[in-house]
């Protein structure tokens, strides 16, 4: 039986467990978009803390695709050196590393940059109105994704994830709420999917077939005229044929609407349904801070990976603590921390 601490194999990727540090924007890069010293501590500490895969935060493929001014960048060859250093340190700590290719679209908050979208519709009444992309500009952005994938490969990344969720540019093309185009990139379901499919094909031209490609989606848009999980089952089937290996199942963000219910595991049914009906690997997200819940999701084959966000912000050693609480025997407890494991195990067990 698979558990949270079972190894995960996909193509040439081998993870020591099913725990992934979810990509989370930190707005802490150097001014030129390079990885900062702070990131070296931030990401490597989670690798030391036992996660199987560290996903670097949303990394824009062009400067105007930034969400915040100090996002980690992947739009320039100047970014490769520091990304390589980070990848090497994460590998030395026993984890694998991936990067999320990203474009903020109409949600970009860098005031000195133009914001763009499939249609000139602002996110809310306080937002700037984005420029509607021309077809030539669309092709340029698709090329930027390919260039970003080339840099990710040079930097030693093990996984690429294309961010197609949370109301950012790719999601804006997918959703009928934000895409009102009348050309081949708008209108029908197939046309709205065209931008993402062309990005995937472009990335796969340079990303080795032996390395996994993930896509993050918003499986529910919380609006009757938006996309819902049944739509994403069909999208996932198409993406699988295009060579996508895993669907990272999140929700929301297309419109400024809060989910009607938020609680532990509230987004897991999306991962479970897409996994079952599209027959593709999925990851689950959404307040999965209890190890027993995360383990149950894997044991019952509701998802293949667990993406943790705020839990790992709060506790970089969540994975080590979870192994203790679940009684899982692991051989990658850091040698330097062994004394804590041995001396405090009884104390924690007594308290619980």
Question: What pTM was computed for the model?
Answer: 0.95
Buried b (16+ CB within 10 A) or exposed e, 246-271: bbbbbbbbbeeeeeeeeeebbbbbbb
Q: What is the pLDDT of residue 129?
A: 97
Q: What is the pLDDT of residue 130?
A: 98
Lowest mean pLDDT across 9-18, 223-232, 252-261, 279-288:
252-261
Express each pLDDT in 21-37 by its tens digit.
Answer: 999 999 999 999 999 99
Express each pLDDT in 80-123 by its tens digit.
Answer: 999 999 999 999 999 999 999 999 999 999 999 999 999 999 99
Mean pLDDT of the chain: 95
Q: What is the pLDDT of residue 338?
A: 82
Binned at pLDDT 50, 70 and 90, residue 344 comes out as low
In degrees and rounded to multiples of 5, residue 95 shows phi and psi of -105, 165
C-alpha to C-alpha distances, 104 to 44, 164, 185, 307, nearest whole angstrom: 26, 10, 18, 21
* Direct distance between the N- and C-terminal alpha carbons of the chain, in angstroms, rounded to an integer: 26
pLDDT tops 50 at residue 232: yes
What mean pLDDT is predicted for residues 114-134? 97
Binned at pLDDT 50, 70 and 90, residue 339 comes out as confident
Interior angle at CA 63, CA 121 and CA 226, nearest 5: 30
Q: What is the pLDDT of residue 78?
A: 98
Cβ atoms of residues 346 and 76 within 8 Å: no
Q: What is the pLDDT of residue 63?
A: 98
Q: What is the pLDDT of residue 345?
A: 55
Q: What is the pLDDT of residue 340?
A: 78
pLDDT tops 70 at residue 273: yes
């Amino acid at each position: 039986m698979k558990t949270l601490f079972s190894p995960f194999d996909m193509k040439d990727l081998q993870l020591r467990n099913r725990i992934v540090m979810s990509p989370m924007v930190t707005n802490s890069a150097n001014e030129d978009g390079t990885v900062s010293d702070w990131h070296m501590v931030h990401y490597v500490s989670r690798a030391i803390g036992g996660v199987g895969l560290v996903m670097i935060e949303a990394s824009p493929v062009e400067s105007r695709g930034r969400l915040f001014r100090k996002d980690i960048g992947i739009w320039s060859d100047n970014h490769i050196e520091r990304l390589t250093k980070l990848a090497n340190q994460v590998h030395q700590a026993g984890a694998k590393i991936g990067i999320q290719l990203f474009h903020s679209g109409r949600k970009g908050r860098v005031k000195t940059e133009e914001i763009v979208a499939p249609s000139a519709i602002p996110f809310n009444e306080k937002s700037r109105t984005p420029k509607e992309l021309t077809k030539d500009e669309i092709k340029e952005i698709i090329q930027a994704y390919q260039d970003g994938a080339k840099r990710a490969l040079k930097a030693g990344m093990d996984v690429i994830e294309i961010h197609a969720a949370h109301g950012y540019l790719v999601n804006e093309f997918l959703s009928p709420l934000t895409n009102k185009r009348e050309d081949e990139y708008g209108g029908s379901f197939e046309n709205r999917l065209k931008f993402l499919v062309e990005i995937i094909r472009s990335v796969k031209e340079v990303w080795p077939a032996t390395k996994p490609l993930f896509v993050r989606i918003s499986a529910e848009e919380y609006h009757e005229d938006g996309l819902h999980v049944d739509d994403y089952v069909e999208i996932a089937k198409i993406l699988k044929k295009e060579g996508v290996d895993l669907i990272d199942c999140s929700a929301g963000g297309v419109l400024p609407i809060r989910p009607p219910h938020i609680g532990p595991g509230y987004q897991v049914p999306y991962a479970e349904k897409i996994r079952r009906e599209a027959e593709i690997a999925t990851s689950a997200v959404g307040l999965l801070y209890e190890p027993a819940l995360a383990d149950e999701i894997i044991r019952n084959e509701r998802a293949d990976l667990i993406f943790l966000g705020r839990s790992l912000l709060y506790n970089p050693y969540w994975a080590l603590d979870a192994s203790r609480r679940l009684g899982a025997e692991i051989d990658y407890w850091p040698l330097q921390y062994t004394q804590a494991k041995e001396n405090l195990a009884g104390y924690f067990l007594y308290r619980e």
